[in-house]
């Protein structure tokens, strides 16, 4: 991409950062330049965040209907997966899957619940009763 073709579209991060890109100068040599953003990239990120919001809402509904425990909701809300949550809590992935069952979750001990609350950065009350 030539230096004068570098996109300078407004992005969601316009007040926080700019992206470093490699461009060709007039002599045909590569150099770095800063871009404010690119609409195509912005649209792709907006779509990705829409997917995240949909997954969080589906998890919220699964918890409110009693299909899943709050562990499932907070894992989605915090953009975690099983390996990441296992790393934070010290629980095996298989154990976390079991804890996503509301019947199993309701029988968890205080220390186990505290591990989840700490991993998700919420209080015990919020963990037991997500909004």
Same-domain status, 13 and 63: no
* Better-scored residue on pLDDT, 63 or 7: 63
124 within some domain = yes
43 within some domain = no
Q: According to the 3-state scheme, what is the secondary structure of the chain?
A: CEHHHCCECCCCCCCCCCEEEEEECCCCCEEEEEECECHHHHHHHHHHHHHHHHHHHHHHHHHHCCCCCHHHHHHHHCCCCHHHHHHHHCCCHHHHHHHCCHHHHCCCCHHHHHHHHHHHCCCHHHHHCCC
Same-domain status, 112 and 61: yes
Same-domain status, 16 and 60: no
What distances in angstroms separate CA 125 from CA 40, 104, 106, 122, 130, one per listed residue? 42, 17, 13, 8, 8
Q: What is the CATH classification number for the domain harbouring 121? A: 1.10.260
Q: How many domains does the chain have?
A: 2
User: Is 88's pLDDT higher than 70?
Assistant: yes
Give the closest residue to 27 by CA, choosing from 50, 3, 51, 11: 3
pTM exceeds 0.75? yes
The whole-number pLDDT of residue 13 equals 67
pLDDT digits (tens, 9 = 90+) for 44-56: 888 999 999 999 9
Spatial distance between the Cα atoms of 97 and 89, rounded to a whole number of angstroms: 13
The whole-number pLDDT of residue 1 equals 79
Question: What are phi and psi for residue 9, nearest 5 degrees?
Answer: -75, 150
The stretch 77-104 carries a mean pLDDT of: 98
The whole-number pLDDT of residue 47 equals 94
The whole-number pLDDT of residue 10 equals 79
Percentage of the chain beyond pLDDT 90 is 69
């Amino acid at each position: 991409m030539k230096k004068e073709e570098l996109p300078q579209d407004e992005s969601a991060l316009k007040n926080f950062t700019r992206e470093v890109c490699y461009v060709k100068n007039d002599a045909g040599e590569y150099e770095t330049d800063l871009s404010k953003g690119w609409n195509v990239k912005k649209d792709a990120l907006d779509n990705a965040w829409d997917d995240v919001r949909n997954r969080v809402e589906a998890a919220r509904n699964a918890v409110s209907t009693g299909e899943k425990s709050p562990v499932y909701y907070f894992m989605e809300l915090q953009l975690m997966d099983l390996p990441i949550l296992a790393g934070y809590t010290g629980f095996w992935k298989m154990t976390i899957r079991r804890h996503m069952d509301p019947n199993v979750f309701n029988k968890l001990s205080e220390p186990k619940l505290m591990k989840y609350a700490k991993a998700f950065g919420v209080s015990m009350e919020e963990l037991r009763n997500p909004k």
